[in-house]
Structure 1
Amino acid sequence: MIISLALTSEITTLTMRMQLRFFLRALTFLYILPFISHAQISNRYGTIVDIGSRSGIPYVSIGIKGKALGTVADSTGKFKLLLDNTVAPSDSVIFMRVGYHTLGKTISELKDSPWAITMEASSVLLNEVSIKASKQTIETYGRTPASIYLTPKAYMRVPRTSDVSGLEQATILDINNQILLKEVDFLLIRNNFANLKYRINLYSVKNDLPDKIIPTKDIIFETSETRGWKKIDLEDYNIVLKNYKKVAVSVQLLDAKLKDDDVNKTLLLVPSYPSPFKKSFFREKSESEWTPLKNTFLYINFQAYKLKD
């Protein structure tokens, strides 16, 4: 009888311990559940409109400051932004487009979808001037056609699940003090897209890196010919660069449509020419850090009129 009671007591104690362990595990799971949910990848949706007209603003660059996360709004101002567990409530979402004041909002300010974003137009653009009488010889700045090119792995292939919009390549060009841009040319090779939409951006240069965007008219174009040299006529934009010794010229991908259902997207956009004295730059999103690619000279150039002082 004593043995039976002792055995019963031991079983009861063991059962209580198991129940306690189960309770503690359940409590722990309930405690970490919000963090697990937070760590999951999630999408945020929204629309960006002009504060005055209330119409959608097309192709606004959207990025998490300092992170390779972001996207580009579509032609109506609508967007879908992918967030992951690296994003904190204090992180800033930057909305940027030429012709508008750059807007920054923290994740905690924006809260849940849908995000309703308003942006205010800016009057700060490069001065348009009458320069027809001052045009002189056309000069070329940058890398012209050649038979040799490099294909850095940094931007060759991106998984199909990735949002490729916002991907940007740049090169730094030495220029004269005052020029009028005539056209910009760049090379596309070996990609898996049926249609591409791009934006040409101009940046000032600081510490040998692209720095602040130079305010010009938005230069956006679309092509279904996804190979070969692309020529963008800039005559109608009337862009005068004055008092710049160097500028960074970039090609930013806004949208892309695949040709087929390949597992990967071939994202070789603008190849480089091997050069020991040059370097090109690459970044995945508009607010991520620029990655220098040494000994490479991106196949981008522009033709310009050198203007009289």
Structure 2
Amino acid sequence: MKIVSVLGALLLSISMYSQKISGKVINENNEVVSYCSVSLENINTSTITDINGNYSIDIPENAKKSDYIIFESNGYEDKKLTIEGITSNANITLNKKANAIQEISIIGKKTKKDVLGYKSRPMLTFSKMFDQNVPTIEQGQIFNIYKWTKLNSYNFYIIPSSKFKEITLKLNVYSVKNNLPDESLLQENIIFKTNTTGWQTIDLGKYKLIYNDLDQLAITLQLVENVPQDNVDFVFGISAKKTLSKDLLFRYQSQGKWEASGGNFISNIDINYMKDKK
């Protein structure tokens, strides 16, 4: 009996029972960090903070006290803490990241305009649906760009059969490595709200998104908040088209692996550019 008791105590020290951890994410100035990713490392469990910085994450039974929860948000240094550490203090402070993205001046430079991607909706399309209960899911695509590119807007098409009062989307921009998204290129969140279907435009002008010496960009969307219609099931999807190139992207959470499939969103980026595409 003594041996069994000792073994039981050891197992309890390694494993955790399923529980929920709730807290708030702020920055060093006591400002809330909205839509921050909160993910268990190497476990398919994640969530995001709401607009007020609050989060709640379910810890599965197979998690250990020594497993890490990772907090990630555009413009901030990632924070990595053990489950045990967060259990004692679930309120998290993130530190601003030094701006490593080079400021590129366009004063005195002549640029041309272009629209990369679909300018109209083709006859034959399919829908990429979003799950209202999984705000960590990202879906998007890869764009081939010019050697010097400034993003003015991102345009995409919400399927007419979508049903919602309002949705809130988070736009993400990444560099591309081995045909998959690599590092985030944003210093702050880009949030877009709409209550309509059809073509949508996210104005990117104020963010000064200028990229030099990149072949490609990956742009993805997350459904971070939604208001459903009364007594109607929520539906939200974006039009896409099958292609031979594997440019359609999917990721379940920020710590998950990217998946690529054949196709493109019915979307485009309005840009200014210099020189030729690589």
TM-score, length-scaled by structure 2: 0.85
Supply the distance in 1 between the matched residues of 2:75 and 2:123 (Cα, whole angstroms): 38
Q: Is the CA contact 2:146–2:275 (under 8 Å) kept in the aligned structure 1?
A: no
The corresponding residue for 1:212 is 183
Name which of structure 1's ranges 231-240 and 279-288 shifts more when overlaid on structure 2: 279-288
TM-score, length-normalised on structure 1? 0.77
Larger radius of gyration between Structure 1 and Structure 2: 1
1:281 paired residue number:
249
The correspondence of residues 98-177 of structure 1 with structure 2, limited to 5 A, is: 98-112=74-88, 115-131=90-106, 133-144=108-119, 145-151=121-127, 155=129, 158=131, 163-177=133-147
More helix by share: 1
Matches within 5 A, 1:229-244: 229-244=199-214
Aligned twin of 2:25: 48
Instruction: Determine if contact 1:125/1:217 at 8 Å carries over to the other structure.
Output: no
Question: Would the aligned equivalents of 1:150 and 1:296 in 2 still touch at CA under 8 Å?
Answer: no
Q: Give me the whole-angstrom Cα distance separating, in 2, the residues matched to 1:193 and 1:88.
A: 39
Residue pairs, 1:1-309, within 5 angstroms: 38-40=16-18, 42-51=19-28, 53-112=29-88, 115-131=90-106, 133-144=108-119, 145-151=121-127, 155=129, 158=131, 163-189=133-159, 190-225=161-196, 227-260=197-230, 265-266=234-235, 268-293=236-261, 295-307=262-274
Q: Distance in 2 between matches of 1:265 and 1:31?
A: 46
Per-residue CA deviations over 1:130-160 (Å, capped at 9, x if unaligned) read 42542422112233332221235xx46x5x7
User: Which stretches in structure 1 are left out of the alignment for 5+ residues?
Assistant: 1-22
Q: CA RMSD in A?
A: 3.1
Cα shift readout 1:67-110 (whole Å, capped 9, x = no counterpart):
33212212221111222224333332221111111111222322
Distance 1:127 1:49 in 2: 26
Q: What is the aligned length?
A: 271
Structure 2 unaligned runs (5+)?
A: none
Q: How far, CA to CA, are the matches of 1:66 and 1:141 in structure 2?
A: 36
Give deviations 1:179-221, integer Å, cap 9, x for gaps. 1111111121233432111111111111211111113332111
The separation in 2 between residues aligned to 1:151 and 1:74, in whole angstroms, is 27
Q: Give the conservation status (yes or no) of the 8 Å contact 1:187–1:230.
A: yes
